[in-house]
Structure 1
Amino acid sequence: MMTWFLALPWWEAMRALGLLSFAAITAGICLGILYSLPFWSAPVKKRLYKTHAALAIDGAALGLGHGMLTVIDTYVPYSWSELLIPFTASYRPVLSGLGTLSFYALVLIILSTDLRGKLKRPLWFALHLSAYPAFVMALVHGFFMGTDSGSLAAQWFYALSACSVVLATLVRAAYRSFANTGKGGRGRPAALRRKGSVS
């Protein structure tokens, strides 16, 4: 019975969960970035926020399942300590550790969102910005550890994911820059506009 159980395609299942987790994280980050744009109506912003939060939770859950399957898999089995303590794995310790750190960062972001009302905004914002390094760590972990990363489909998947996050970030930055220079200041620094300078 146990032999049959261990012979199941755990490696493929683990890889599938990893890809699904990364896709959910990517979509969640993009929605979180675009959510702050001011032109959304209140109902749309509410839906965006709920979807953003759900994708983050789904990504974490899928990532947890992805990691737990490494303990069951017989190809390169991990111990619980190797799974939970970054950079202690015997197999590709740096890449494995990046995956663990990315998961921890994602959990921290989810918890900080739940505690948003009790945290000062600068602290909450700093914790939320850790989504960027978490995404990069997950990208490096998934691409360089993936057995299928040499395939064109996998390369396109990771490339489109990275480009989506970069593009969403650039759109928000461009919109904020346009908004800051378009509010009666002709591009003057915000500090000068607040002081009423007419230089």
Structure 2
Amino acid sequence: MITWITQLPLWQIIRVLGLISFVLLTAGIGLGISYGFPFWNGQVKAKLYKIHTLSTNTGMALGLLHGMITVIDTYTPFSWSGVFIPFTAARSPVLNGLGTLSVYGMLLVIFTSDIRNKIKKKLWFLIHLLSYPIFVMTFIHGYFLGTDTQYTGIRWLYLVSALVVVGLSLVRFMITSGGPARTAGKPVSR
């Protein structure tokens, strides 16, 4: 059984899982940002929330699997400590450490979202804001460490993902802070 597993194209599986995880996490953060737009009705918000949760949780699970498979990969094997203890990987410790920290951060964000009704809303919100630095760490990990970034299409995937998150964040900030998108004299509900 072990021989069969190690004969799988593990390096390709690791790369694909990393890319899919990044895309799903980008979708999750983008939908989470969009969820706060005040113009959605209840049904749309409910659908956005479901897709946001599904894409974030799936992206997190695939990202965790992406890291764990490196332990059995024969092309560039990692130790368990190199995977789970930030900045201890033998190869590119800083970039791999950012990936590990991203996993821990996402686990915290997801866990506190699951217990959202049991903690103070302000605390939940502050923890949820960690999604931004987590996204940045994930971007840096994938863009600078990912072997597929040599391909123009993959570089564009990362760059467009970052632009989407930044763009949606700016729009949400403008809407909720009284920028040009706010109607005169009317407070925007959050």
TM-score by shorter chain over 0.5? yes
**Secondary structure class of the residue paired with 1:30:** helix
Q: Give the superposition deviation at 1:134.
A: 0.5
Distance 2:33 2:172 in 1: 7
Distance 1:74 1:36 in 2: 45
- Which runs of no fewer than 5 residues in structure 2 stay unpaired? none
**Secondary structure class of the residue paired with 1:37:** coil
**Secondary structure class of the residue paired with 1:8:** coil
Are the aligned partners of 2:26 and 2:135 in contact in 1 as well (CA < 8 Å)?
yes
Q: Deviations over 1:135-169 (max 9, x none)?
A: 00000001111111111011110011000100110
1:3-22 superposed matches below 5 A: 3-22=3-22
Q: CA RMSD in A?
A: 1.6
Distance 1:101 1:56 in 2: 16
Provide TM-score, normalisation by structure 2. Answer: 0.92
Q: 2:184: which partner in 1?
A: 182
Are the aligned partners of 2:109 and 2:128 in contact in 1 as well (CA < 8 Å)?
yes
Q: Give the superposition deviation at 1:184.
A: 6.0
Cα distance change of structure 1 residues 170 and 9 upon mapping to structure 2, 3 Å threshold: same
Q: 1:132: which partner in 2?
A: 132
Report whether the alignment pairs 1:27 with 2:27. yes
Provide TM-score, normalisation by structure 1. Answer: 0.88
Q: 2:74: which partner in 1?
A: 74
Distance 1:78 1:17 in 2: 16
Q: What is the one-letter code of the residue matched to 1:111?
A: F
- Which runs of no fewer than 5 residues in structure 1 stay unpaired? 186-199
Count of equivalent residues? 185
Q: What is the one-letter code of the residue matched to 1:167?
A: G
Distance 1:174 1:69 in 2: 42
Q: What is the one-letter code of the residue matched to 2:157?
A: F
**Secondary structure class of the residue paired with 2:150:** coil
Find the structure with the greater CA-based Rg: 1
Report whether the alignment pairs 1:61 with 2:58. no
Distance 1:172 1:49 in 2: 16
Q: What is the one-letter code of the residue matched to 1:67?
A: G
Q: What is the one-letter code of the residue matched to 2:41?
A: S
Q: What is the one-letter code of the residue matched to 1:26?
A: T
Q: Following superposition, which runs of at least 4 residues in structure 1 exceed 4 angstroms of deviation?
A: 1-4
Q: Percent identity?
A: 51
Q: Give the superposition deviation at 1:3.
A: 4.4
Q: Deviations over 1:26-61 (max 9, x none)?
A: 000011001011111110000001111111100111
Q: 1:196: which partner in 2?
A: none
Q: 2:166: which partner in 1?
A: 166
Cα distance change of structure 1 residues 43 and 91 upon mapping to structure 2, 3 Å threshold: same
Cα distance change of structure 1 residues 125 and 3 upon mapping to structure 2, 3 Å threshold: same
Cα distance change of structure 1 residues 161 and 184 upon mapping to structure 2, 3 Å threshold: closer
Q: Give the superposition deviation at 1:182.
A: 2.2
